[in-house]
Amino acid sequence: MNHRFREQSDNQHTLRPSRTPPGLSTKIMALIGKVALVTGAGQGLGKGFSDILLKNGAKVALLDINENIGENTRADFGKGYGEDRVCFFTCDVASVEQLEDAFQKTIERFGRINIMSNNAGILNETNWEKMVAVNLNAVIRGTYLALQHMKKDTGGEGGVIVNTASLAGLGFLLTVPVYTATKHGVVGFTRAVAGASEESGYGVRINALCPGLVKTALLDSTSERHGQFAHLSHLSKEVVKKCGILEVPVVAEGFLQLVMDEGKNGAVMKITHEDAFQKTIERFGRIHIMSNNAGIMDETNWEKMVAINLNAVIQGTYLALQHMKKDTGGEGGVIVNIASMAGLAPFLIFPVYAAAKHAVVGFSRSVADASMMSGYGVRINTLCPTAVSTPLLGAVADEKKNGPFSHLFNLIGDTAKLRKIEVPAVAEGFLQLVTDEDKNGAVMVVKEEGCSYVDFPKEFMLDLKAHIP
């Protein structure tokens, strides 16, 4: 599934044209030694943003109102990235004193601040005054504090501020009108202050991030926090259906772009994953065949690998099913999920890659049966190629992508001599899975000898009826 990072351009409302044409990256900000302050960093998106900053060499001050989760996150990061690169301060961003105090403590600890992420946010339509204080006022205060410290005209080093808004800052959600207002406020404020900073020669870029729904604690029991429009909660399900739910690492990649791309100021980045699907339908009218093929191999960055190799395959399958299934007017179709031989056999050095691919096989077989039993008219098959001659295999020879078992790297020997098959051979197998109307829940292996179907032993079949008395 193709996640979309898109800069929102709306010239009518742009205060002044940006000096850098949109989409053009000029210079990339190096993060090694840079100091970042992230609010709401104990869990969810803030934790994901802190993680990716640390991974790229920055030092990070984590701020959170919740001392327990903040301390735990600090301890995890300290172990992983070094105790000297991370600290935690308990801070309610809605309190002027606490935010100023945490800001000062960060400067005392690390000497400066180059990156500010105003990310803490809540969803509570009942206590909406508090929500405005956290989601909007604290973002404004955090931006002004950071500007004051970073701006070059008074001796600062310049820097970048990223404010977490939401897709609800560009569109609207009926169940959460005040939340929607705060996020529109963040987008409007960010664009205006970015223009003002540029015009004033401050050397500080300010961008806004607008993700769709993200799998974090903020989404738990939202209906209780919908306030007077709780009776419209069922409409949110439509939004989930339309937008799907993003994973934190995907949003963190977008955040990193806004931090590092020196060409971005006043940028508003939308992150959704329904765009590609919707656009295909707009262009061609319908979809009959879906191939969930995107994948990476990186044991070091395994959370991201699971997000792409497994979660996005599940998301892509569900989106395609939703569109194709016959019981709600779809035309039926076929989905082919690309797993690997590592989805059927252990793969030393790449255990998480193997886990994700095993899961793709299990998921595809299960959902294939479910689709058939539901009369959806959608077949779902899995392709498991052995090593194929593509750049993905570069990870095998790249110790940085080998994770905790890189010491076994020598066992593999010369990867250039690894026996590989060619792309057209795999494409032939793929075509069979698409065109053969008798194949549903099929798992095809493609090796040097050719294509064959896996015949799973009967004793490994789960007979649900046998389990129900």
Ligand X SMILES: NC(=O)C1=CN([C@@H]2O[C@H](COP(=O)(O)OP(=O)(O)OC[C@H]3O[C@@H](n4cnc5c(N)ncnc54)[C@H](O)[C@@H]3O)[C@@H](O)[C@H]2O)C=CC1
What region does 221 belong to: left with phi over 0, alpha with psi -120 to 50, or beta? left
- Residues numbered 122 to 141 that lie near ligand X (CB under 6 A) are 122, 134
Residue 233 CB, nearest approach to ligand LHF2Z3OF (Å): 8
175 near ligand LHF2Z3OF (CB under 6 A)? yes
Tokens describing residue 366: 């299960």
The partner in contact with residue 66, picked from ligand X, ligand LHF2Z3OF, none with C-beta cut-offs of 5 to 8 angstroms by kind, is ligand X
Residue 243 CB, nearest approach to ligand X (Å): 9
Which string of x and - marks every residue 110-129 that binds ligand LHF2Z3OF (by CB under 6 A)? -------------x------
163 near ligand X (CB under 6 A)? no
Instruction: Give, for 62, the enclosing helix (H) or strand (E).
Output: strand 59-64
- The residue among 44 and 295 lying less far from ligand X, judged by its C-beta, is 44
Round to whole Å and give the CA distance between 73 and 251: 19
- The residue among 147 and 173 lying less far from ligand X, judged by its C-beta, is 173
Let me know if 179 is a catalytic residue.
Answer: yes
216 near ligand X (CB under 6 A)? yes
- Residues numbered 26 to 55 that lie near ligand X (CB under 6 A) are 39-40, 42-46
Which burial class, exposed, middle or buried, applies to 44 when counting CB atoms under 10 A from its CB (0-12, 13-18, 19+)? buried
94 near ligand X (CB under 6 A)? yes
The partner in contact with residue 120, picked from ligand LHF2Z3OF, ligand X, none with C-beta cut-offs of 5 to 8 angstroms by kind, is ligand X
Round to whole Å and give the CA distance between 91 and 245: 29
Round to whole Å and give the CA distance between 104 and 4: 37
- The residue among 222 and 340 lying less far from ligand LHF2Z3OF, judged by its C-beta, is 222
- Residues numbered 235 to 254 that lie near ligand LHF2Z3OF (CB under 6 A) are 235-236, 238-239, 243
Q: Where are the alpha helices (DSSP H) in 311-350?
A: 312-324
Among 166, 222, 272, 311, binds ligand X (CB under 6 A): 166
- The residue among 173 and 290 lying less far from ligand LHF2Z3OF, judged by its C-beta, is 173
Q: Which residues contact 396 (CB under 8 A, 6 or more apart)?
A: 297, 349, 412, 415, 418
Instruction: Give, for 100, the enclosing helix (H) or strand (E).
Output: helix 96-110
Among 31, 65, 161, 167, binds ligand LHF2Z3OF (CB under 6 A): 167
What is the Rg, in whole angstroms, of the alpha carbon atoms belonging to the chain?
Answer: 24
- Considering the candidates 81, 179, 202, 353, report the single residue annotated as catalytic: 179
Evaluate whether 331 touches 324 at the Cβ level (below 8 Å): yes
Among 172, 318, 409, 453, binds ligand LHF2Z3OF (CB under 6 A): 172
Distances in Å between the alpha carbon of 455 and those of 39, 90, 234, 344, 466? 52, 56, 43, 12, 21
The sheet carrying 378-385 orders its strands as: 289-292, 333-338, 378-385, 443-447, 450-453
Q: Which residues bind ligand LHF2Z3OF (CB under 6 A)?
A: 123, 166-168, 171-176, 179, 212-213, 222, 235-236, 238-239, 243
What residues are annotated to the active site?
179
